[in-house]
Amino acid sequence: MAKGPVIILTGTPGTGKSTHAELLANESPIPLRNINVSEYVKERGLYENYDEEWQSYTVDEDRLLDELEPLAAAGGLILDWHTCEAFPERWADLVVVLRCDHTKLWDRLEKRGYSLKKIQENNEAEIMQVILEEARSSYPPEIVIELQSETMEDLESNVARLVEWIKLWLKNQEGS
């Protein structure tokens, strides 16, 4: 049986996934491996090509899932990615969708040096809650949670909530 849960941390780029993932990995009562999937894809060459127009990699999902499968089976994992539907339902114990006011998101993406086109695309996706819909249509509703990520207080309370959820998950494992 898995020693820890698999938490999918998703949301539009800039909503705060990496920031949350790092803090959660630090504060978790059990060790969690934190995988930034975009970095993982780049490091391992798990892409088909680089799309100049969108300044992004076209991920080879089959290879990515093959590589992640044993890690998901072992558990104790945070998967930080701006999309989530590719991950099999059976992997996920919790799917966290981070949300951010679109004007704040715009500023964050501008600071990151994204092109105007990419900022607009992401901003629109956030307004249309594309990732939230994706999570809701890919996983059972009871494991999908939506969390605001606009302030440092949000960050702290979200992580505290996730730590409590992990503790409960561990307790439930003992009992089953």
Ligand X SMILES: Nc1ncnc2c1ncn2[C@@H]1O[C@H](COP(=O)(O)OP(=O)(O)O)[C@@H](O)[C@H]1O
Binding-site members for ATP are 14, 16-19, 112
Q: Looking at 6-14, 39-47, 117-125, 136-144, which segment touches ligand X (CB under 6 A)?
A: 6-14
On whether the CB atoms of residues 100 and 155 are closer than 8 A, the answer is no
Q: Does 4 bind ligand X (CB under 6 A)?
A: no
Binder among 4, 5, 7, 11 for ligand X (CB under 6 A)? 11
Distances (CA, A) of 129 to 41, 53, 70, 94, 105: 25, 23, 31, 18, 13
**Which residue's CB comes closest to ligand X?**
16
166 touches ligand X (CB under 6 A): no
Minimum CB distance to ligand X smaller for 19 or for 123: 19
Instruction: Fill in the per-residue mask, 92 to 131: x = in contact with ligand X (CB under 6 A), - = not in contact.
Output: ----------------x-----------------------
Chain residues binding ligand X by CB under 6 A are 11, 13-19, 108, 149-152, 154-155
